[in-house]
Amino acid sequence: MIKSMRNIKIFRLLSPRSYLSCLRILIVFCLWVAVSRVPLEAQVLHWISGGVTVRHDVFSGATTNLTLPGSAVTLSSDVPGNRLFHFRVPFTLVRSDLDGLDVLELTSYPFGFIDLTAVASIERVFWINEFNGQLVSVDFQGLNPDVVGGMFGASGIAADEVDGYLYMSFAGQGAIRRYNLQGSNPVNIIGSGLNNPRDVQLDQVQQRLFWINGAGDIQRRGIAGGPIETVVPSGAVPGIIEHFVVDDVFQQIYLGTSVGAVWQMTTDGTLAVNMYSGGTSISELTFGYSTVCVPGFIRGDVNDDGLFNIADVVRTLEVLFVQGSQSLSCEVSADANDDEQTNVADAIYSLSALFVAGSPPLSEPHPNCGADPTPGTLGCEVSTICPCP
């Protein structure tokens, strides 16, 4: 009760703006969870380097070149839905999974496409035909095409899936406009005066727009107004900033450069980290949250047979004292006393739980599969009895 009252007091101390920011974080997370229907665990980047589509897992640092037909031109992703969309030479819109498998050709489009944007909430993918001045879209199956004209000079597109808007930058007009998801009802967010803006990006949480200007700077401004700020000036990192994306939950920017490098920094342009180098020009970037399955386990079920008995104690002692014994694929299952160590004390604790009346039971997860409520240094790579779903 006291803890609940403290939480209430904390929310009362929040300013209206801070409260709205917290609320938007919750809405963004809920939207991703609703689309993926599973917990969100990992951050995934894809980019194009010299026509090759590359996948990069932010947490692990693993980078993989995807094997796909043709040269990639532009891309977007629905990461929770395990879908990657990309235009590839000879000018075909293709959908694959995040590893470049299960490739499906959605539609052919002759020329002029820029800034592909997937909108998972309505399962449509949008792009700009810069030659004909059109906003074009199809659904995630490549069906039900739609074309909206009057978009000459458009140079970037970003989707607000929470409030149901598209934001588009117009380089020649120095403007950024907002549309509904049908591409109608335009509203000038910044009517004019920008220096050739392109690659507009949205921070849904803080309600800000970011873009690259004609000088190569990343700039931003609040949707409701306020000053224009230069967040990442040209020259802050080696090479020209070709493209960037915004992680609005953790307030990070990921940007690709003409010298084949990818950088991570805060949305204020600080704490820059060179997370990848050695590519060619990084022409496109897309970002999202993926799912990582951490296997559950049964504490005490050391031999991974779904039971808790003397065989598990024997297995624990075998691993501890018999040279050449096979290591445990789920080490945390042997931590019977939950002290984040595996030693003879765990065998004694298990023996007591099995044979000494009145001994304390093993901590959760026991006797059923589950996650470790007190995670520490011991892990579980594989569990036969409690596999990933």
- Lowest model confidence (mean pLDDT) among 21-35, 66-80, 136-150, 308-322: 21-35
What pLDDT does 290 receive?
61
Single pTM value for the model = 0.69
pLDDT in tens, 38-70: 334 468 899 999 889 999 988 778 899 998 888
What pLDDT does 159 receive?
95
Q: What is the CATH number of domain 295-389?
A: 1.10.1330.10
Q: 21-290: what fold?
A: Neuraminidase (2.120.10)
**What whole-number distance in Å separates Cα of residue 127 and Cα of residue 370?**
43
pLDDT in tens, 368-385: 998 888 888 888 877 888
Q: Does the pLDDT of residue 315 top 90, yes or no? A: yes
**What whole-number distance in Å separates Cα of residue 299 and Cα of residue 370?**
9
pLDDT in tens, 206-251: 999 999 999 999 999 999 999 999 999 999 999 999 999 999 888 9
Q: Does the pLDDT of residue 30 top 70, yes or no? A: no
Q: Find the angle CA(216)-CA(217)-CA(223) to the nearest 5 degrees.
A: 125
Q: In what order do the strands lie in the sheet with 273-276?
A: 241-247, 252-257, 262-266, 273-276
Q: Which of 77, 32, 40, 34 lies closest to 55 in space, CA to CA?
A: 77
Q: Does the pLDDT of residue 18 top 60, yes or no? A: no
**What whole-number distance in Å separates Cα of residue 302 and Cα of residue 298?**
8
What pLDDT does 88 receive?
84
Give the domain ranges of the chain.
21-290, 295-389
Average pLDDT score over residue span 336-349: 93
What pLDDT does 389 receive?
56
Contact status, residue 375 vs residue 287, Cβ threshold 8 Å: no
User: How does the average pLDDT of the chain come out, rounded?
Assistant: 86
DSSP lists the bridge partners of residue 96 as: 84
Half-sphere exposure (Cβ direction) of 79: Cα atoms closer than 13 Å:
22
